[in-house]
Structure 1
Amino acid sequence: MSAFLDAPSPEAFSLTCEEIGRAVREHGADTVTEELRRAVLFTQDRELAAALLDIATAHRLAPLSPAEARAVVAGPAQWRYLDSLGEPVDAVPRTPCEKLMLDLLHDDIALPVAPPAKGPTVAQSMLIGGTAQPGEGASGGLTVFLSSLAAALVRREDIGRVVTVVLAPEPTTVTVRKDAALDHWTVHVPVDSPVALTQTEMASHRAGITWWLTKLLPRCGLTPDVVHVRYSDDGSLAVADAARVLGAKLVFTVTPDPHRHLAERHPEDAEDLTAMRFDLHRVRVADHLVERADQVITIGGRQDEVLTHFPRLDPAELLALEEGIAPAPPPSGRSLVPSLYAESALPRLDPSARGLPVLLNVGRLHPMKQQPRLVRAWLDAGLHRTTALVLIGGSTTARTPDEQAVLDEVLALSRSAPEARGRLAVLPAWSNQDVRRLQHELAAAPVSSGAPHVYACASAKEEFGIAVLEAMEAGLLALGPQRGGLPNYVDQGRNGFLADTSDTRSLAEGLRHVVDLGPAAAPIAAAGQRTVRARFRIDAVAEPFAALYTRLSG
């Protein structure tokens, strides 16, 4: 705690909160409470005092009397602390989110109340991306997977209810909503920010996220038996804090990403010390989540790399669970291909592209997804002469900085290659159902040359690749990155292809190879379709998740 007192920061607050938890276990609550009391009363920094009081609240410690708390701290940290003591709160809000907080404390918000569930209640968090349309902002494959998983779980007799926790898109309302047909609830947690939080901003809102969850879930009859977090960030620590307060078991999906990212971004000297510190912080967060979880799982079969970074994990206790996809939606009765040719301010296909094989890429616009590298590789390989490239993703308005930067780079490449005009289409995000209908429509329309329609995933890595699974299920020939989760189900040259996406030249070679296969691609695409339909149906994938949640809740 002394390091936090000397140099307080949101990240230091988050890690100090973990240290206090360990100190309580090792030295007892009374000793730690006394140390917190001395620290709060000693400091003249009111923000530091508020942070220390939030740490006390997170661990249900009471270092100050209500009168002392009112004297040394103001605002939400004081209100959270007083609420934990069962004390009334009377204050004037300064922001819409503070007003919401006080309204909830004063029982001035009407909330739905769920009836008792007939089985365990499972909460899953998705604080990055949330329920936004996949492909917009930070919303991607995890949004699709968790929605499908929730639906599959609640259809089972051994799971009572699923609660998905997301961050509210704006801090002026509290929304708790049930799916119309299923016992799947979505809880939107307000945060005092006018825009969606990034991972670097989560630590500043950790105490608030925890407080809202510990109030909203019981108030709505949604107290979970099991809580599942999937990101190595302070948002997951906030949800884990709520799980501890609510008495729920904690599941954590661990990936090698934080450690890998740290090593790759800063191989020698750190040019960007701020970025390096945050990457190191995420490594520590992952360690803390592994330590706190009642069950740690990995995605697919990648335990070896995880165990390298987390040597304290027992291989015998580490579960590998695969992700999956819902059945394809029924045809809508209308063709979606004409949308690729419709006039727009962004590039679209022209009549010269009709009948050509399509290289399709779907997903959020983000540097990790490497859409500009895909465009450059497509151009360098000369594939603009024989194929059409279609990119779908990104917001139509209010783009994030990442989205705008990626889009600007793609458009610059398009302008630099006038010979490719009419062969590149750039469209904003579509609904998942429309994307899948387009994939099936393309797969059902082979081209006269015999060359395949291809799903081209140029990401630096994919943890599992939900979009790739969906394309394979439709019958498209898939090409994706060697790094990440795709090698768990893509058998090179037999049911799909892997490429080195870290290099434009190797990606171009991979694209050219799959296009040049011509009619020989058909059995490979068909094998990929069989792989997904046999192994990654969401109902089958939900089985081991349900078994885990049921075991922990029992």
Structure 2
Amino acid sequence: SIASGHIYGHVPLRQEAVPSAAAWPLRVTARRGIRRILRAAGHVDLLHLRMADVGSLAAADVARELGIPVVFTVAPDPHGVIQSMDRSGTLTRAQFGDADMEEHFWFRARLVQSLASNAAHTVLFPRPQLQRDMSQLVGIDITAHPERHTIVAEGVDLEVVDRAVATVRASAEPMPEAVADLRRRVEQLAPARRALPFIVSVGRLHRVKGMATLVEAWARGPLRDRANLLIVGGDLGRPSRDEREQLDRIDAVVPAHARADAGLVLAGHQPNDVAALWLAAVRFGMPHLTGPGGVYVCASLKEEFGIALLEAMATGLMVVAPDGGGPATYVENGITGVLTETWDAGRLEAAIGAALDAAALPEGDRADRAHDMVRSSFTIQAMASALGSVYQDVAADEAELIRAAGAVL
């Protein structure tokens, strides 16, 4: 709303949602809508583009046309996905051409370079080997012009998380409708499954997010014997092509009619406050229904940062996460979580087992340690403050350029 300082602009695309890799024909329509919004807004200090997709391509066109400086968040995407698929053997030189016809890897990689080179300033996510990864994967030497780059971590809203934890921990009546909804879903499971803890994952039903891989690793047997599995995300009623691919893979190992007996709950997309309550319920368990000591799993092929992962850690859950990208900078391996090569189903399975072992032990200060880490470094307020400084500098530099150009003319 205007009162809060935030206004959402709607760009009409006049068709059903399509996978991002198939959205390039929407460039003209998106460009027209973005131009209309920016012109109606009056003076615009800058645009911050955060993904190398058709929306950012269209917005960059409009920014160049209207003389608006751009801040671009640079991440090795699709570079990280290509690297993970290469390591897992699912993408080879022989089949790259066919994969590129579907995913447009080559074009997207070049788009990242183009957006970065034309941006007034770039923002980077923390990574363990940031300088090396940006050089080797993206082809950008961030030491050549360090003044053009700023490292900014993502942030989460701790108020939502803390409120959810307090609510579930209190077990007060009447329980929130969101918790009651989760209870009803769990009550549909076979009676023998109801005392078990949950493995939970929140995110898009997309190959890169690894949801089907997680189900496959869990369904092999040992993990399924120890815990139920809750997947939160996706449109189950009208799945997109990407979602359908994941659902088909899930159904191949746990058919819909067998989910209750197996202990699998597919919950579809849920609002953030509902997901927060469910994560807390996974940590503490639900009386007379599920056991405590659940774990959160991020099975992504690549994860640039991991908002849902941070929310799970702030909730106090033991987590499993990729051993590269953003998570490797904040998950303490063996203490607050387990880092692993998530593209390998066997290693993912072993990591989840280790996380369940750790979660079954007395918490000690583990949950507080994870929460304090998020509070000290990864709140949305800290993110906003860091980005605010970037925006002020870019706007000031642009104003000085305009002033200097006017003086010369």
**TM class, shorter-chain normalised?**
0.7 to 0.9
Matched, 1:536 2:367: no
Q: Is the 8 A contact 2:81 2:301 kept in 1?
A: no
Q: Which amino acid aligns with 1:226?
A: L
- Equivalent AA in structure 2 for residue 206 of structure 1: R
**Matched residue count:** 372
Match of 1:203 among 24, 45, 50: 24
Q: Is the 8 A contact 2:131 2:141 kept in 1?
A: no
Contact 1:261 1:279 in 2 (8 A): no
Query: Which amino acid in structure 1 is aligned with residue 75 of structure 2?
Result: T
Distance in 2, matches of 1:516 and 1:459, equals 22
Residues 90-489 of structure 1 aligned to structure 2 (within 5 Å): 179=1, 181-191=3-13, 193-219=14-40, 221-262=41-82, 264=86, 267-270=92-95, 272-273=97-98, 275=100, 278-301=104-127, 302-308=130-136, 309-313=138-142, 314=144, 316-317=146-147, 318-329=149-160, 330-331=163-164, 333-334=175-176, 336-342=178-184, 348-415=188-255, 421=261, 423-445=263-285, 452-489=293-330
Bigger share in helix: 2
CA distance 1:387–1:312, change in 2 (3 Å): closer
Instruction: For 1:417 and 1:499, locate their aligned partners in 2 and report how far apart those are by CA, in whole Å.
Output: 32
Distance (Å, rounded) in 2 between the aligned partners of 1:253 and 1:400: 27
Gaps of 5+ in 2: 168-174, 397-409
Contact 1:190 1:212 in 2 (8 A): yes
Identical-residue share of aligned pairs (%): 29
Question: Which residue identity is paired with 2:146?
Answer: A
Shift of 1:447: 8.7
- Tell me the distance in 2 between the aligned counterparts of 1:510 and 1:274: 29
Kept in 2, the 8 Å contact 1:458–1:481? The answer is yes
CA distance in 2 between counterparts of 1:235 and 1:523 reads 43
Q: C-alpha offsets along residues 411-458 of structure 1, whole Å, 9 cap, x if unaligned? A: 332239969715221111110110012222333448999962211111
Report the alpha carbon displacement of residue 207 of structure 1 after superposing the two structures with TM: 3.3
Q: 1:529 to 1:305 in 2, by over 3 A?
A: same
Following TM superposition, by how much is the alpha carbon of 1:467 offset from its aligned partner in structure 2, in angstroms?
0.4
1:18 alignment counterpart: none
Task: Tell me the distance in 2 between the aligned counterparts of 1:307 and 1:430.
Answer: 38
Hey, what's the Cα distance between the residues in 2 that align with 1:426 and 1:450?
19
Structure 2 equivalent of residue 553 of structure 1 = 395
Determine if contact 2:199/2:294 at 8 Å carries over to the other structure: yes
Alignment deviations for residues 260-292 of structure 1 (CA, whole Å, 9 cap, x no partner): 445637532235447258211112111111111
Contact 2:201 2:231 in 1 (8 A): yes
Return closer, same or farther for 1:303/1:409 CA change in 2, 3 Å cut-off. Answer: same
Tell me the alpha carbon deviations over residues 302-360 of structure 1, each in whole angstroms, 9 at most, x when there is no partner.
3320122324543523211100101233457516444345369xx95344333322111
1:492 aligns with 2:320: no
Cα distance in 1 between the residues matched to 2:234 and 2:95: 31
**Alpha-carbon contact 2:199-2:297 (below 8 Å) kept:** yes
Residues 1:383 and 1:485: Cα distance change in structure 2 (over 3 Å): same
Distance change >3 Å, CA 373–CA 200, structure 1 → 2: closer
Deviation at 1:553, TM superposition (A): 1.1
Q: In 1, distance between residues paired with 2:80 and 2:200?
A: 28
Give 2:21's aligned amino acid: T
| Stretches of structure 1 lacking an aligned partner (at least 5 in a row) | 1-178
Deviates more, 1:380-389 or 1:234-243: 380-389
Deviation at 1:204, TM superposition (A): 2.5
- Once residues 158 and 334 of structure 2 are traced to their aligned partners in structure 1, the CA distance between those partners, rounded to angstroms, is 25
The one-letter code sitting in structure 2 at the alignment partner of 1:325 is V
3-state SS of the aligned residue for 1:398?
coil
1:403, CA displacement in angstroms? 0.9
* Deviation digits for residues 32-86 of structure 1 (CA, Å, limit 9, x no counterpart): xxxxxxxxxxxxxxxxxxxxxxxxxxxxxxxxxxxxxxxxxxxxxxxxxxxxxxx
Deviations 1:94-153 (A, max 9, x none): xxxxxxxxxxxxxxxxxxxxxxxxxxxxxxxxxxxxxxxxxxxxxxxxxxxxxxxxxxxx
Cα 1:299/1:251, change in 2 over 3 Å = same
CA gap 1:508/1:266 in 2 versus in 1, 3 angstroms? closer
Relative to structure 1, is the Cα distance of residues 451 and 211 closer, same or farther in structure 2, using a 3 angstrom cutoff? closer
Question: Following the alignment from structure 1 to structure 2, what is the Cα–Cα distance between the partners of residues 293 and 487?
Answer: 27
More deviation, 245-254/440-449: 440-449
Amino acid of the residue matched to residue 55 of structure 2? Answer: G
The alpha carbon displacement at 1:496 in A equals 1.7
Equivalent residue number for residue 508 of structure 1: 349
* Cα shift at 1:409: 2.0
Root-mean-square deviation over aligned CA pairs: 2.9
For residue 238 of structure 1, report the CA deviation from its aligned partner: 1.3
8 A Cα contact 2:285 2:292, kept in partner: no
Deviation at 1:532, TM superposition (A): 0.9
SS in 1 for 2:135: helix
Q: CA–CA distance in 1 between the matches of 2:302 and 2:257?
A: 27
Which amino acid counterpart does residue 27 of structure 2 have in structure 1? R
Larger RCO of the pair (alpha carbons < 8 Å, separation 6+): 2
Give, in whole Å, the separation in 2 of the partners of 1:183 and 1:499. 41
- Partner-residue secondary structure (3-state), 2:70: strand
Q: Structure 1 residues 373 and 428, CA, compared in 2 at 3 Å: closer, same or farther?
A: same
